[in-house]
Amino acid sequence: MQKNFKPHPNSFKNTFCVFNEVLSNEIEGLKKQFESKAGSAYYYTESGMYRVSNHWGRLANSKWRLIAMEPETPSKTKIGFARWNEFYPDNAEEKLYYIDVNYDKNTVTYQHKKNPEFDNKAILRTSFETTKKIKQIRNLQQLTSWAKHFDYESIDDLRKQIITELIFTEKTLDEIKREI
């Protein structure tokens, strides 16, 4: 029988968290302890929280992301799990976030500075600054028109050079482009 574990109601306010997708068998036998107005269901355990939802990202005053399984499950509704120690504080004023790029998958995302994988090398930014840089990086990743002004052998190498500068320096995109 499941022990009834209930976190403090305000413990999720203004938090950042990355959930990992799990299969439905993980919540079998667990009691649903909360359902949001938007239809998300929450299951609390001693070790963490399961969330069943069809929407992830910005939620009210929090940023909760889901890392989907590979291969991705077909259902739009996903079950995510996060340990209690993986909920980090979030606010608009502090420099809490760094940018993380996966060049193989051609993706960009942001992570919290309390993430145990943070190596203190990437520049920390506010959520607004981080969003702005991510938008620039996605444009560099997905478009080619910006590259017509450069003399280069490999657009992928050029992209990587510019994106690396955006992540690890305070330089603006214009400053980086001028230097190249």
Q: Are residues 50 and 79 in the same domain?
A: yes
8: in domain = no
The predicted-structure confidence for 27-64, as pLDDT tens digits, reads as follows: 999 999 999 899 999 999 999 999 999 999 887 789 99
Residue after which a domain boundary falls, among 87, 111, 137:
87
pTM to 2 decimal places: 0.89
CA distances from 135 to 12, 26, 75, 132, 152 (A): 27, 35, 28, 5, 23
Helix/strand/coil (H, E, C) string of 113-135?
A: CCCCCCCCCCCCECHHHHHHHHH
**CA 153/CA 169 separation, integer angstroms:** 24
Q: Are residues 68 and 18 in the same domain?
A: yes
The predicted-structure confidence for 54-88, as pLDDT tens digits, reads as follows: 999 887 789 999 999 998 888 999 999 999 999 99
Q: Where are the alpha helices (DSSP H) in 11-154?
A: 127-142
If you average pLDDT over residues 116-133, what whole number do you get?
97
140: in domain = yes
Write the single-letter amino acid at 114: K
6: in domain = no
Residue after which a domain boundary falls, among 87, 117, 145:
87
Q: Are residues 64 and 99 in the same domain?
A: no
Range of the domain at 143: 95-177
* Per-residue pLDDT band at 9 (split at 50, 70, 90): low
* Count of structural domains within the chain: 2
Q: Are residues 40 and 103 in the same domain?
A: no
Q: What is the pLDDT of residue 1?
A: 44
Q: Are residues 18 and 44 in the same domain?
A: yes
Residue after which a domain boundary falls, among 33, 57, 87:
87
Q: Return mean pLDDT, the chain.
A: 93
1: in domain = no
